[in-house]
Each structure stands twice: as structure tokens, then as C-alpha cells.
Amino acid sequence: MGNDILKGKRGIIFGALNEQSIAWKVAERAHEEGATFVLTNAPIAMRMGEINKLAEATGSTVIPADATNVEDIDNLITQSMEILGGKVDFILHSIGMSINVRKGRHYTDENYDFTMKGLDVSALSFHKVMQAAMKHDAVNEWGSILALTYIAAQRVFPDYNDMADNKSYLESIARSFGYHYGVAKKVRVNTISQSPTMTTAGSGVKGFNEFINYSEAMSPLGNASALACADYCVSMFSDLTKYVTMQNLFHDGGFSNTGVTQEVISKFSD
């Protein structure tokens, strides 16, 4: 049951592929909190049709858009305002993909066409979404725009491959665009750096099962779940966080500030 903290707010949610998706949980929680929104994903991701279940459950319209395609994004922004009856208050960018990771290309042996595609999908798309939103004046004052990221943007996690570079770029776009959007329209822009989470994108990373266990043991509170991430997103879309902008916010049970835990140390005792 919600507390209506998003009552009257309108939004656009990218990236709900299936029930495991973080964006799926955000949509469910935002609906519980009284928001109305448009759901969007790449046309190819809609073939399975799962998103229609979510649309039905949340009373939402689905608009297909490839987040790398400027025309698709323009159309999404204008159509969303028509459907929702005005400007939006929040946007969630929950999109990530690396072809090098998918095809098992080592970081030191990248295929640069794959690299450029992954960068476009995972990072530049965030800029494209905000540029289109700003041009169409599609976001209300004090609106909140979020993208999801991972700590591999700051520290080396070897199997995260070129997604680490994509996430660094994504976080930088949040800071830079956050400055301009803040000055021009009082719109805030942040990234949430989430614990490893068992989703389609997450489990594409080599050795993910072992890694998620390692992360659990290295986090004083344990790994944050997708549902907990959705709660955090809802709080960031609400008016309770109005002066938070241009930040990379760790939502990771304390992992990012932990050097080692007793649990991990004890695994090395003789």
C-alpha cells in the first residue's frame, strides 16, 4: 500500500523488460504511490509482450522507442505529454547493454563497433532523452530525472568490461546536464548506483552468481534488492528530495564505503 507521495505526478519509465527489471518494480511502486506514467522500451524488447501486463496493472500506455533514435525519443516525449495531459514530473532511464559483454569479447580485445553501440544505448541515450525533453519543455519545475548505474564507473570490476566506461560517461552526463537543466528549468538530474541485482541485464555479466554473493558479503546491510531500489527511485521522484541534483547516489547496503568485512576476512583464515 502506498502513501500517495507521487499523487498527481506524471512520468515516463524506460526499461521494464520483465518482472525482474528494476524499471518494472519502479513502475509498480510509482503506481502504488499515485503516479500516472507512460511505459517505453525498444521495439525489439516488446516482442515478448510482457510489458503489456505491466501496462494493464498500472493503467499505463506503452510507447515503443529505441532510446538511441532521436526521432523515436522526440515522438515519445510529445506523445507522452498528450496522453498524460501535460508536462511530466519524472523520467526513469533504466537502460543498459554491451555487445562486447554479450559476445564475450575481452576488455582488451573490444570490437569498436560493439563499443560504440553499447555507449550509445547505455549512456548517450540519457543525453538524447534530456535534450529532447528540454527542447519540448516537457518537464515541470522541480521535476526529477534518474538513471541507474553501477560502481564499476569508479572502481575496477574486470568482468564488467566496457559497461564500466559506459557508466562513467552516463554519470558525467547526469552532472553536466543536471547543471544546465537546473539553471534553465529547476529540473534535477541524478544517477542511482545500485547493488548487483538478478535481472536480464545483470546476469549477462560473466561470473554474476559468484559476484552477487561476494557483494552480499561485502555490504554491511547486504545487497539492495530491485524493490528497495524502486523505493529509492520513488523518494527521488517525490517532493521530499527537491534539492538533490547532479549526484551519484549509492544504493548498495554500504558496499561503496567498505574496505573489507569480517565475513570476507574469515574466508582467508587458515
Quick count: other Cβ atoms within 10 Å of Cβ 45? 20
Can you say how many angstroms the Cα of residue 67 is from the centroid of all Cα atoms in its chain? 13
Q: Which of 45, 123, 230, 234 binds ligand NAD (CB under 6 A)?
A: 45
Which DSSP category does 21 fall into? S
Residue 68 touching ligand NAD (CB under 6 A): yes
Q: Which is nearer to ligand NAD, 75 or 140 (CB)?
A: 75
Q: Give the CB-side neighbour count of residue 141, counting CA atoms within 13 A.
A: 4
| Neighbouring C-beta atoms of residue 154, cutoff 10 Å | 15
What are the strands of the beta sheet with 61-62, ordered from one edge? 61-62, 36-40, 10-14, 88-93, 139-149, 188-194, 248-251
Contacts of 140 (CB under 8 A, 6+ apart): 87, 88, 89
Q: Does 54 bind ligand NAD (CB under 6 A)?
A: no
142 Rama class: left (phi>0) / alpha (psi -120 to 50) / beta: left
Q: Does 94 bind ligand NAD (CB under 6 A)?
A: yes
Nearest residue (CB) to ligand NAD, 27 versus 121: 121
Does residue 160 bind ligand NAD (CB under 6 A)?
Answer: no
How many C-beta neighbours within 10 Å does residue 268 have?
7
> Which one of 26, 42, 145, 233 is in contact with ligand NAD (CB under 6 A)?
42
Say whether residue 118 binds ligand NAD (CB under 6 A). Answer: no
Spell out, one character per residue from 180 to 219, where the chain touches ligand NAD: x when CB under 6 A holds, - when not.
--------------x-xx-xxxx-----------------
Stretch touching ligand NAD by CB under 6 A, among 2-10, 91-99, 131-139, 259-267: 91-99
User: By CB under 6 A, is residue 73 in contact with ligand NAD?
Assistant: no
| Residue showing the smallest CB distance to ligand NAD in the complex | 202
Contact residues: ligand NAD, CB under 6 A = 14-15, 17, 21-23, 41-42, 45, 66-68, 94-97, 121, 148-150, 194, 196-197, 199-202
